Structures are given as C-alpha cells and as structure tokens.
Amino acid sequence: MALRVPKSSYPQLFKDGYKNLQGVDEAVLKNIQAIHELSEIVRTSFGPNGRNKMVINHLEKLFVTNDAATIIRELEVVHPAAKLLVMASQQQEQEVGDATNFVIIFAGELLQKAEYLLRMGLHPSEIVQGYELARNKALEILEELCVETIKDQKSKPELLKAVKAAIAAKQYGNEDLLADLVIDAALSIMPKNPANFNVDNIRVVKIMGSSIYESKVVNGMVFGREPEGVVHKAHKAKIGIFTCSLDVSQTETKGTVLIHNAQEMLNFTKGEEQHMEKAFKELADAGINVVVTGSGVGELALHYLNRLNILVVKVLSKFDLRRLCRVVGASALARLGPPTAEEMGFCDIVETVEIGGDRVTVFRQENETSRTATIVVRGATQNFLDDTERAIDDGVNIVKAVTKDGRLVAGAGATEMELLKRLLSFGEKTPGINQHSIKSFAEAFEVFPRTLAENAGLDATQILSKLYAAHHQDDSGVIGVDIDSDTENSTLDAFKVGIYDCLVSKSWAIKFATDAALTVLRVDQIIMSKPAGGPKPPQQNSNWDED
C-alpha cells in the first residue's frame, strides 16, 4: 500500500481556483528567480556609467532614466515576492532619498547566494540565522570604515564632498555644475540649525531650450507662466493669496428674472459690477498690489485689477500655493475679501522674466537668506530635464542626510570590497553551519565593484582580482574601481580622488535589503485565491455589421 495519500482524497480546503505552491522548489526558488530578474533590470543602471532604461507606463508616458526609484515605480511589478523588494526600495527612497538601486541589487544577490545554499541542502531558517548575524556584523564594520566627516554643514567645499558622487551616479559629466547649483540653493535656505533643513524648500523648474550650462539658482519661487493682466512687475509687494476664483460668485439656486426694457437690463448688470469693483477696491485700499489665485480669474475681475494696477498670478498647484504662502509669509484665504496684516504676504520683487522663449513669474527676496530657492534647469529634451531633476533631487536628499549624520565612507566600490574581506574573515572564525551563510552574505557585496566595472566596459574579473589583492595588503578600505581608466591598473584610491558615499545611506540600504531578502526566505508556501470578477466582457467584434 502506498504511504502517500492521493491528492483527490484530501478534504476540499479552498474554493475552486485557488493556487497552492509549497516547499523549497515551488515557493522559495520561484520567488528568488522573480527577484533575480527584477534586480538584473536595475543592475545595469548602477553607477556613473549605468545604462538608461526606456519605460513606457500605462498612460503611455515615456521615461528615459537610470534612476532605480523611477524605474521601479513605473514598472508596475505584480509578482508578490518582487513587490516586497519594491517596497524596501521605496522605504530607502523615503528614508534617505538615495541608494535605492543598492537595495534591489544587494537583496537580489543575497537571494542568488541563498539559492546555491538551498541546493546544497541548508534549511532556509539556517540561512536566515546566518544572514542576520552577518548583517549585524556588517553594520558594525561599516561604522569603522568612516574615512571623512563633514563637520561644518554650511561650508560649500565640505558639502561638495558628499553631493558630487551622488549626482555623478545619475548625470556623469555634469556633476560639478549640478553639485554647485544644489549646494548654492541649499546654503541659501539653510536654517540656523542645519538639522532643520527641509528638502521641500528647494524647487526645480524645467524650461526647455539652451543647454544645461544656462541653469541657475533663483532666491525665491519661479512659476512657469506669466501674469494674467497687463501689470508685470511689483516692488516691495504686499501679496494676497486666495484659493477661490476671482469671478462673479455663482448662486446655488437658479432664478428667472423678467426684464422689460433696456434700462432694467443695464441696472441688473450694474449691481453686479459695483459689487465686484467694491471687492477689489477694498483689496487696493488694504495696500495689496499682487494677488495670487489658485483658481480662475474672470474677465470683469481682470478689468478691475488692471485698473487698480494690481498684478495677478494664477498658481493652479495647491502644493505650490502652500509653498508660496511659506515664502512670502501669507495665509491662503478661501473667500474674496481684504486680508488682515497677519494674512498678507510680503515680497521684495515680483516680476516677469523671459528665460529662453518662455515668460515666467519670479517671486524674489532681495536679502541673502530666503525661505525657498528654485533651480531653473535648461536642456534640450523633456526627458533630459526630468532626469536632471532626479539627479538634483538625489543631491538635495544627500544634503539632508549629511545634516543629520556627516560621516562619509569611500565610494567606487571600495567600502563594499572591505566589507567583503572583513565579513569573510568573520565567517571563517564562526563555528557551525552559520559560517556558510555569513560567507555567502560577504560574497554578495562583490556584485557592486563587479557591476561598476562591467558597466564601464572593463574586464570585471581582472579588476576584482586586483581589488582583492589591494584590500588584503591594506586595511584602510579605500581602494575602488577606476571607471575612467584605459590602462591596465583600473583601481584608484577613492579617498585621495574624493569619491565618497554617505555612511547613513549605506547602512539603511543594507538593513532594508537584508530584511527584504529574509522575508522572502521565510516564505515556504504561496496560496493565491482566484481573482475577483465575473466572466470577461465580450470583446469588440470588427464584423458586427455583417450577417
């Protein structure tokens, strides 16, 4: 008699249509395979020489970028295990704003190494235990690998050390120019206590045309549209900000008015006009010479505003309206009426400037420190401008990270190679079965220098052997990959050249990547219910009119 009971005689546990995958082969290895595919997609986009991806999302919007966060966000991943990895990378984006690629590549590599261990016969829980030990040790070692600390967060040369490498990873070749813009903008809004630095206070406005070298920083806010009326400039402006539309107020009920002659018609419209004129006269009497609205401006309202010499700007984004309130110190009013002194905003100059062929409105404060800085980016195509904005965003986030923790480690894959070396020796000293997992965790770090070399078109095997030799001779952990090299010696001293990574972003990335990998390894069964919804709707029949 067979020891295994045939499946058909099991009691019916789930509804029809349920999928049940279990065991190492069906659940764990399939998950690892899906994650490996995802990490391979972004792996080729790693580093300064990373390739761009062309992603067309469900709205047919085109993205050409090597920014992992954008690629992952637009890919709409549906595999449940790969989704865990996407969530980990999104957390990294929110926590530090950089090194999202690191999370996905490292988690993918950890699981690849785990697959080999599983095939060797280790149990997933043994691998999980070893990986947890290795992660804690890696974070300890990382603390020792700090090679530089930014002590003065208001010093441009100090901040450049951290920001340059982050921007070079996205816009290689333009990193000097963009790092200067980011730091100028950051220093112009840096609060007295740098720990209160707010990323939201640096905006980017993209204007097509010219070249990236025409980009500049403006102290204040720039809106990509010109004022509505004939007034285009105001000095020492008092500003009223309204979220409602500047138009004749529509009543909630519909009424019918019977008009007998032309005189009655004139009187009917005159009352409306007088009411409008009175409202704007009160604004002018309060000293307001700039009005900002978050909605439309009626023609009659525009007529009175022009007569009273008031500049009118439409700002349709409620986020921008909120930022503008912060910049000029105003409160947004929900109804039309003269604001009080506290609700009114103040700005030194509001003017219309022509940048390229576009006319934009600038709210500028004359003093050195402003509440908001705007980086005006120029370039040939919309995709290039979008990608430059992402690089600037990374740079600004690194400034934020440095204001909290100024420690830097060597870049160019040097820190990863040193972690690999020290974790391997830690694994050798660990008794029991955990040492296999610890060594695999260590070897996963090799993917970073290898990828940097591959993406730069260099011989990865040769460079890795040189890096291993260099790191075994020297304990400082600063020898990395020279991606510009065309000679035999493709390694460099990252500390001397000035390629640094933020220690805080590396440590968070290792935490998030390991947690995601461990979560996937702890899964032993996938139970999927039948998707909701009835039968599919009938497809369009092209021959519907034929009998």
Q: 137-186, pLDDT tens digit by residue? A: 888 888 888 888 877 777 778 888 888 888 888 888 888 888 888 888 88
Q: Which two tokens stand for residue 343?
A: 């609700």
Give dist(CA 481, CA 494) in Å, integer. 8
Q: Is residue 255 part of a domain?
A: no
Nearest of 330, 328, 327, 326 to residue 341 by alpha carbon = 330
CA distances from 35 to 271, 345, 454, 524, 525 (A): 69, 52, 21, 16, 16
Amino acid 9: pLDDT: 46
Band of the pLDDT at 370, cuts 50, 70, 90?
low
Asked if 192 and 95 sit in the same domain, the reply is: no
Amino acid 36: pLDDT: 87
Asked if 370 and 476 sit in the same domain, the reply is: no
Name the more confident of 224 and 387: 387
Amino acid 282: pLDDT: 77
Burial of 306 (0-12, 13-18, 19+ CB in 10 A): middle
pLDDT digits (tens, 9 = 90+) for 98-119: 888 889 999 999 988 888 888 8
Band of the pLDDT at 206, cuts 50, 70, 90?
confident
Q: Is residue 254 part of a domain?
A: no
Mean of the pLDDT values across residues 43-50? Answer: 84
Name the more confident of 20 and 166: 166
Asked if 170 and 89 sit in the same domain, the reply is: no
Q: Is residue 315 part of a domain?
A: yes
Query: Which residue pairs from 423-428 have beta carbons closer than 8 angstroms and sit at least 24 positions apart in sequence?
Result: 423/134, 423/137, 423/138, 423/141, 426/134, 426/137, 427/134
Q: Which domain holds residue 493?
A: 13-148+410-528
| Sign, CA torsion 158/159/162/163 | negative
Amino acid 221: pLDDT: 80
Asked if 396 and 420 sit in the same domain, the reply is: no
Average pLDDT of the chain to the nearest whole number: 80
CA distances from 267 to 262, 277, 436 (A): 9, 15, 92
Asked if 300 and 365 sit in the same domain, the reply is: yes
- Write the CB contacts of 72 (distance below 8 Å, at least 6 apart in sequence): 38, 42, 86, 89, 90, 100, 104
What's the CATH number where 75 sits?
Answer: 1.10.560.10
Asked if 399 and 420 sit in the same domain, the reply is: no
Asked if 330 and 302 sit in the same domain, the reply is: yes
pLDDT higher than threshold 80 for residue 472: yes
DSSP structural state of residue 340: P
Band of the pLDDT at 542, cuts 50, 70, 90?
low
Paired with 351 in beta bridges are: 233, 362
Asked if 401 and 414 sit in the same domain, the reply is: no
Asked if 43 and 140 sit in the same domain, the reply is: yes
Asked if 342 and 224 sit in the same domain, the reply is: yes
Nearest of 54, 108, 98, 58 to residue 451 by alpha carbon = 108
Mean of the pLDDT values across residues 121-137? Answer: 87
Band of the pLDDT at 1, cuts 50, 70, 90?
very low
The count of other CB atoms within 10 Å of the CB of residue 349 is: 15
Amino acid 533: pLDDT: 66
Asked if 174 and 314 sit in the same domain, the reply is: yes
Residue finishing a domain among 359, 381, 405: 405
Q: Is residue 514 part of a domain?
A: yes
Domain count, the chain: 2
pLDDT higher than threshold 70 for residue 252: no
Q: Is residue 422 part of a domain?
A: yes
Question: Phi and psi for 121 in degrees, rounded to 5?
Answer: 115, 5
Give dist(CA 338, CA 144) in Å, integer. 61
- Residue count of the chain: 547
Mean of the pLDDT values across residues 458-468? Answer: 84
Q: Is residue 190 part of a domain?
A: yes
pLDDT higher than threshold 60 for residue 89: yes
Percentage with pLDDT > 70 across the chain: 89
Give dist(CA 417, CA 492) in Å, integer. 13
pTM, 2 dp: 0.81
What's the CATH number where 288 sits?
Answer: 3.50.7.10
Asked if 136 and 158 sit in the same domain, the reply is: no
Q: Is residue 542 part of a domain?
A: no
Give dist(CA 149, CA 141) in Å, integer. 17
Amino acid 536: pLDDT: 66
DSSP 271-338: HHHHHHHHHHHHHHHTT--EEEESS-B-HHHHHHHHHTT-EEEE---HHHHHHHHHHHT--EESS-SP
Residue finishing a domain among 347, 371, 405: 405
Residue finishing a domain among 405, 428, 457: 405
DSSP structural state of residue 246: B
Report which secondary-structure segment, H or E, holds 451.
helix 447-455
Percentage with pLDDT > 90 across the chain: 0
Q: Is residue 213 part of a domain?
A: yes
